[in-house]
């Protein structure tokens, strides 16, 4: 990818290396602006499932997935700021087909978040971010959001893909129940002192 030495600026890096390959990836991360939300807004979108897709989400998906990219979830404001270090850890593992890192973590910085563009996400990163974005919606306790994000970041690619599929591909009612259940499973209940204890262990790696 980029030559050794000084890295190109983010817009040049995106135009030269990322834009040409974005359609090869099953998910994308959009850095954008929405009315009524503080900028930037991060949005995960899932591309249509192909017939040869053998991922857990493909095996459990309903047959009709449509032909357009589907919005999985979004995050903005304080929850986004709080979880950015976790998001950077997730996306820094994304590589092209040749195994070369895409350096996506550079875009989740003060400089990068001023841009408005789409970034390619592989199955693992897209599933993890999509799941975090879905579960954090309407959760008012920031410690619970961080706890969910940290625990999802530790999922395997297969776990993340499977659990995302449970919240997206089984119809509105079943999807809603899965989201509600996973919020408790991964983030506990509001005002539960165990949330802070578990979160501190994850922060310190103990």
Distance of CA 73 to the CA centre of its chain: 8
pLDDT at position 62 over 70: no
Residues recorded for the chain: 206
Evaluate whether residue 133 is within a structural domain: yes
Evaluate whether residue 1 is within a structural domain: no
What is the number of domains present in the chain? 1
Evaluate whether residue 140 is within a structural domain: yes
Evaluate whether residue 131 is within a structural domain: yes
pLDDT at position 52 over 70: no
User: Which residues, 6 or more positions from 76, have their beta carbon under 8 angstroms from its beta carbon?
Assistant: 34, 37, 38, 39, 40, 41, 42
pLDDT at position 58 over 80: no
pLDDT at position 25 over 80: yes
Taking the model in full, what pTM does it have? 0.88
Q: Please spell the DSSP secondary structure of 117-183, one letter per residue.
A: EEEEE-HHHHHHHHHHHHHHTT---HHHHHHHHHHHHTS-HHHHHHHHHHHHSS-HHHHHHHHHHHH
The confidence score (pLDDT) of residue 6 equals 58
Dihedral, 32, 164, 49, 86 alpha carbons, nearest 10: 40
Higher confidence at residue 1 or residue 180? 180
127 pLDDT band, cuts 50/70/90, is very high
Q: Per residue in 75-92, pLDDT tens?
A: 999 999 999 999 999 999
Range of the domain at 41: 10-48+65-204
The helix/strand/coil state of 111 is: coil
Average pLDDT, integer, range 130-143: 97
Evaluate whether residue 57 is within a structural domain: no
Q: Per residue in 145-201, pLDDT tens?
A: 999 999 999 999 999 999 999 999 899 999 999 999 999 999 999 999 999 999 999
pLDDT at position 67 over 80: no
Evaluate whether residue 5 is within a structural domain: no
Evaluate whether residue 4 is within a structural domain: no
Evaluate whether residue 138 is within a structural domain: yes
Average pLDDT, integer, range 97-110: 96
Per the prediction, the chain carries an average pLDDT of 90
């Amino acid at each position: 990818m980029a030559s050794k030495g000084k890295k190109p600026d983010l817009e040049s890096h995106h135009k030269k290396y990322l834009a040409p390959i974005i359609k090869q990836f099953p998910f994308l991360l959009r850095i954008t602006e929405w009315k009524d939300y503080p900028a930037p807004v991060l949005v995960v979108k899932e591309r249509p499932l192909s017939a040869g897709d053998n991922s857990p989400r493909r095996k459990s998906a309903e047959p009709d997935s449509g032909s357009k990219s589907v919005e999985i979830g979004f995050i903005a404001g304080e929850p986004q700021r709080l979880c950015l270090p976790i998001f950077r850890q997730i996306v820094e593992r994304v590589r092209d087909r040749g195994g070369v890192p895409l350096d996506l973590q550079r875009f989740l910085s003060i400089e990068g978040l001023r841009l408005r563009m789409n970034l390619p996400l592989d199955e693992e990163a897209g599933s993890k971010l999509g799941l975090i974005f879905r579960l954090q919606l309407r959760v008012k306790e920031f410690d619970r959001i961080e706890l969910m994000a940290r625990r999802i970041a530790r999922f395997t690619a297969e776990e993340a893909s499977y659990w995302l599929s449970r919240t997206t591909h089984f119809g509105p009612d079943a999807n809603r129940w899965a989201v509600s259940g996973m919020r408790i499973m991964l983030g506990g209940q509001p005002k539960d002192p165990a949330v802070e204890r578990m979160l501190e262990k994850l922060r310190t790696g103990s």
